[in-house]
Structures are given as structure tokens and as C-alpha cells.
Amino acid sequence: MHAHDPKLSADHSNEIGLYAKRKSVFPKAIDGPFRRFKWLVMAVCLAVYWGTPWIRWDRGPYAPDQAVLIDMGNRRFFMFDIEIWPHEFYFVAGLLIMAGVGLFLLTSAVGRAWCGYACPQTVWTDLFQHVDRFVDGDRNAQMRLQKAPWGPAKIARRALKWSIYLLISFGTGGAWIFYFADAPTLQHEFWTGTAAPVAYATTFVLTMTTFVLGGFMREQVCIYMCPWPRIQTAMLDEKSLIVTYKDWRGEPRGSVKAALKAATPLGDCIDCMQCVAVCPTGIDIREGPQIGCITCALCIDACDKAMADVGRPRGLIDYCTLENAEREKRGQPVTPVLRSIFHPRTLVYLGVWSAIGLALLFALGQRARLDLSVAKDRNPEYVTLSDGAVRNAYTLKLRNMEERPRTYRIALQGLEAGAIFTDEMDAATAARVLTVDVAPDTTRQLRVYALAPRGSKPADFAFVLAATDKEGGSDLAATTFTTAQGNGQ
Ligand code: SF4
Ligand code: SF4
């Protein structure tokens, strides 16, 4: 009965939506030094990503010949001459820490350069935006097509564009799996339908995420999803390089025509909106530093071009520290860019980053290529033989990290009256030193028995592993010998 009572109708006109509606961004093509640098970085990033799994690396007949390989099956990580075993995972952890500190270092030195040039989201979004221009034309043509009603021409263009998106996405998702298996073999298996299901599943998931994130979500990822801009914003200070609109020089803004008619002189900004038109995240840098600015510097290229067209000096929008911006505003001399880049915080990050790198290199140079670990049988801890001798059993793991077979000597250190033998030997032939072969790039598990004569006391002792070849190398694993009198301590 009250449905049409105006007093009872809800007024939603002033409500703020929970989610901001996406404003489509149609960045205009621009040329300039920063755009060319972006091209270069994009080419290098894509070449590295797509090319790396195809680089071959000769490690001899017993190891894979792929330069970079994450071999999940054998639990190895190969990177050129470096091979990381599971027990050496601290190297990978070290590299990840270096990558994290490296991002802090980069942000401290040159602001959000990672976001602007090398982040995969930036690189692939940029790539897709070039596809847009290739298929639909530049900014104005794209905007016209967006507004145009659906018809055969629009459907055909969209179908072509999304097919190219899909092709790039498939190439991206498909390339990832080649890091985890021999690339030529996996490629053959993939196309003949004989690859592992996980290879197809991974390719599908990565294809779809690239298609959606790079093709459609684009700047939304940077502005709403990625945590890195928030962290970086907290890290920026007055010495950080950011892309700045020099409002003290540009304001009050107005077109060249308006400037001619104005009673008082206008600033250098001719309000041509080119900085906004080229921005891949669709923001207006003249409104001040903001989270949506990935510091790609394309607006610098656009504004420099606008300034050149009206015969004014470049740099109305420029890379600048907030400190220098304030100085410039007050007419004071500015700090040279290099000093801004290498300020104390950057040097501290550089020091930490280099220290971790050097420590990893040192550890890499020092690491042994063989390894021994021992596990003593706990049940039973010892066995008394008919002649009164005491026997303890151990499982030895002999690791050969070389890409060639090696012969090792296993010797007893301590347990003076003791001797050792294996399952393949007779106890009567037990000796203080055994010789065993270990295949390349493997861990050999060996049951070893230590034998001590009647009346022997419990003791601490060690197995010593030593390579017999000229490269040598040794390792030692301490353990105990148990008798009826207890454990060695
Ligand atoms: S405001 Fe300029 S630097 Fe920032 S994202 Fe847009 S074009 Fe790039
Ligand atoms: S490109 Fe330069 S001149 Fe044109 S609107 Fe932007 S800041 Fe002003």
C-alpha cells in the first residue's frame, strides 16, 4: 500500500559504491627516450623469459644439458655451472632474499622503476596495449570502437584482438613449463599429447591468468591487487626519485590561445592533456604523486614533446626527488641526480645486498662435492654374536655431487679395535677401511656394520668418507657404538 509513497522511497542518489567502476584506459602511442628505453627493457625481459629454457649447457653424459632447469623429479636446481641439491636449499633462500633486498635497493635508488619497466604485469600489459593499437588503431580509434554498437566489424576486430591476446597468453603459460623439464623433449611430448597432465594444467592456468590480468585487468592489478605499491609508498622519502609535475612552473595552466588573452602570465602547462592521454594507468600526474603512477615516464616523453612544440624548455614533468622539487620551487640549486641515487639508505641496501651475494659466492666456492650422513639403528641398538663380539648397524648416505662416477673410501676414526663390513661382505672380512663406488649425481645408501671384540666398551667414533681421485675431498659423520654397558658419550 505504501509502495508509491515518496516519503518511504529510499534515496540512493548520494550513496558511494563499494567498488569504483573501471574507467577504460586507451593510452596513446608516444615516442621518446623513455619509451625507447621501455622497448629495450621489454625486449630483454621477453627474450630472457622465452629464451632461457632453450639454452643448452654441457654438463657431461650424466646430467641434463639444459642451462636453467628446476628438476622436481630428481630434486635439483641447475643454473649454468651451479647445481643445487635439496640439502643446499639455503642457496635458493639466499637468492630469494637477494631478490627482495634488490627490490628495496632499486626502490631506494630510482623509485618505482621496477613497476614502470620490468614488472611482468607492466611488460605484458604494455605488450597487449600494442596489440590494441595494431588491431584497433591509436587512442581515438579505440575510443570510437568502444562506443560503437556491436556489429560485424566490431565483432571481427574484437575476435582478432582477443585471439592475439590468447596466442600471447598461451606462449607465456606454455613457456613456463619448459623451466621444469628438458625443453625440446617436453615440447614434443606436449604436442603429441604425451606430456604429464600437470604440464597441460599449468599451461592452461597460466594462459588464462595472463589473458585476464594482461588483457583486461591491466592497471587494476597495479592499483588494487598488488601489495608492492603500498610497500613502496611507505619506503619513499624526500630523496626518492619519482615522476613529478612541476606545478610551480606549470600553473596556472592554460592553452597557448588562453595565454595570449590572459591578463596575467600563465604557467608553462598548455593543458594539452597529452600526459594523461599516454598514461598506461590513466592518471593525471598534475594532481600530484599517486599510487597509480608506476613511474614509466611516458608522460615525460609526451610533455617534453609538447614543450618542444611550443618552444619551451623540457622537464615540466620529470624524474625528480621531492627534496629537489622543493629546492627548485624556492629557486635554490638542486642536488645532482647521482647524489640523489646514491644516498645513505641506498648505500646501506647495496651493502646488505652485496654482503649476501658475496657470502653465497663464498659458500658456493667452499661447498664439498661429496657428503656423508649416518643414521644408527635404534632397534636393536647392538647385537652380541656367539663369540661375544658386539655388532652395531648403521645406514650411511654417500652423496656424489659430481657428474661422474667416484670411488670413495669409508674409514673408521676411533673405535680402535673395531672393523666394518657391508651386506655384500662376510663379517670375517671386516676391515677398518672399505672402498665403494657411487654413481654420478646420486646418493648411495649403504648398510654398514661395525664389529668390536668381546669386552669392548661403548664408544664415540666417526665414519670418514674420502674420495680416492686426485680432486679428493672428504667428510666425516660422528656416531656412537653401543654395547651391553650402554652408549658411548
Ligand atoms: S603518470 Fe606518467 S609516469 Fe606515472 S604511470 Fe602515468 S605515464 Fe607513467
Ligand atoms: S603534457 Fe605537459 S603541457 Fe600538456 S597537459 Fe601535460 S603537463 Fe601540461
Instruction: Assign 15 a pLDDT band (cuts: 50, 70, 90).
Output: low
Class of domain 370-481: mainly beta
Ligand nearest to the CA of 293: 1
For position 290, what pLDDT does the model report?
Answer: 87
pLDDT at 356 over 80: yes
Query: Which residue blocks in 213-297 are alpha helix, DSSP H?
Result: 219-220, 228-235, 247-250, 256-261, 274-278
- Read off the pLDDT of residues 237-288 as tens digits, 9 standing for 90 and up: 888 889 999 999 999 999 989 988 888 899 999 999 999 999 999 999 999 9
Q: Which string of b and e fits 431-469 if b means at least 16 CB within 10 Å?
A: eeebebebebbebeebebbbbbeeebebbebbbbbbbee
Best residue among 269, 285, 301 to mutate for probing ligand 2's pocket (most ligand atoms within 8 Å of CB) is 269
3-state secondary structure string across 111-171 = CCHHHHHHCHHHHHHHHHHHHHHHHHCCHHHHHHHHHCCCCHHHHHHHHHHHHHHHHHHHH
pLDDT at 150 over 70: yes
For position 14, what pLDDT does the model report?
Answer: 58
For the Cβ of 269 lying below 6 angstroms from any atom of ligand 2, the answer is yes
Separation between Cα atoms, residue 350 and residue 259, nearest integer Å: 48
Would you kindly state where each structural domain of the chain is located, as residue ranges? 33-232, 237-335, 370-481
For the Cβ of 298 lying below 6 angstroms from any atom of ligand 1, the answer is yes
- Read off the pLDDT of residues 415-453 as tens digits, 9 standing for 90 and up: 999 999 999 998 899 999 999 999 998 999 999 999 999
- Read off the pLDDT of residues 165-175 as tens digits, 9 standing for 90 and up: 999 999 999 99
For the Cβ of 274 lying below 6 angstroms from any atom of ligand 1, the answer is no
User: In the predicted model, what is the mean pLDDT of residues 26-31?
Assistant: 97
User: How confident is the prediction for the chain on average, in pLDDT?
Assistant: 92
- Read off the pLDDT of residues 87-146 as tens digits, 9 standing for 90 and up: 888 999 999 999 999 999 998 888 899 999 999 999 999 999 999 999 999 999 999 999
Grid cell for residue 469 = 681421485
Best residue among 283, 287, 291, 317 to mutate for probing ligand 1's pocket (most ligand atoms within 8 Å of CB) is 283
Q: Give the nearest ligand 1 atom to 282 CA.
A: 6
Ligand nearest to the CA of 272: 2
pLDDT at 164 over 90: yes
Of 42 and 86, the structure prediction assigns the larger pLDDT to: 42
pLDDT at 4 over 90: no
Instruction: Assign 6 a pLDDT band (cuts: 50, 70, 90).
Output: very low
Q: Contact, 71 vs 333, CB < 8 A?
A: no
Best residue among 41, 110, 139, 243 to mutate for probing ligand 1's pocket (most ligand atoms within 8 Å of CB) is 243
Q: Give the nearest ligand 1 atom to 294 CA.
A: 5
Report CA 258 to chain centroid distance, whole Å.
Answer: 50
Q: Which CA distances in Å does 60 have to 80, 371, 407?
A: 13, 21, 18
For the Cβ of 300 lying below 6 angstroms from any atom of ligand 2, the answer is no
Residues in the chain: 489
Determine the distance separating the centroid of ligand 1 and the alpha carbon of 161, expressed in angstroms.
25
Determine the distance separating the centroid of ligand 2 and the alpha carbon of 244, expressed in angstroms.
12
Separation between Cα atoms, residue 458 and residue 489, nearest integer Å: 8
Instruction: Assign 8 a pLDDT band (cuts: 50, 70, 90).
Output: very low
Determine the distance separating the centroid of ligand 2 and the alpha carbon of 288, expressed in angstroms.
13
Instruction: Assign 231 a pLDDT band (cuts: 50, 70, 90).
Output: confident
For the Cβ of 299 lying below 6 angstroms from any atom of ligand 1, the answer is yes
User: In the predicted model, what is the mean pLDDT of residues 10-14?
Assistant: 51
For the Cβ of 296 lying below 6 angstroms from any atom of ligand 1, the answer is yes
Determine the distance separating the centroid of ligand 2 and the alpha carbon of 22, expressed in angstroms.
24
Instruction: Assign 236 a pLDDT band (cuts: 50, 70, 90).
Output: confident
Name every residue whose Cβ is closer than 8 Å to that of residue 258 and which is 6 or more positions away in sequence.
266, 271
Q: What is the pTM of this model?
A: 0.84
Of 233 and 311, the structure prediction assigns the larger pLDDT to: 311
Q: Contact, 243 vs 300, CB < 8 A?
A: yes
For the Cβ of 277 lying below 6 angstroms from any atom of ligand 2, the answer is no
Ligand nearest to the CA of 111: 1
Determine the distance separating the centroid of ligand 1 and the alpha carbon of 138, expressed in angstroms.
18
- Read off the pLDDT of residues 279-331 as tens digits, 9 standing for 90 and up: 999 999 999 988 899 999 999 999 999 999 999 999 999 999 888 988 999 99
Of 8 and 217, the structure prediction assigns the larger pLDDT to: 217
Tell me the residue ranges of DSSP E strands in 165-204.
none
User: In the predicted model, what is the mean pLDDT of residues 139-161?
Assistant: 96
The closest of 203, 202, 226, 213 to 126, measured between CA atoms, is: 213
Nearest CA to ligand 1 atom 2: 299
3-state class of 445 per DSSP? strand
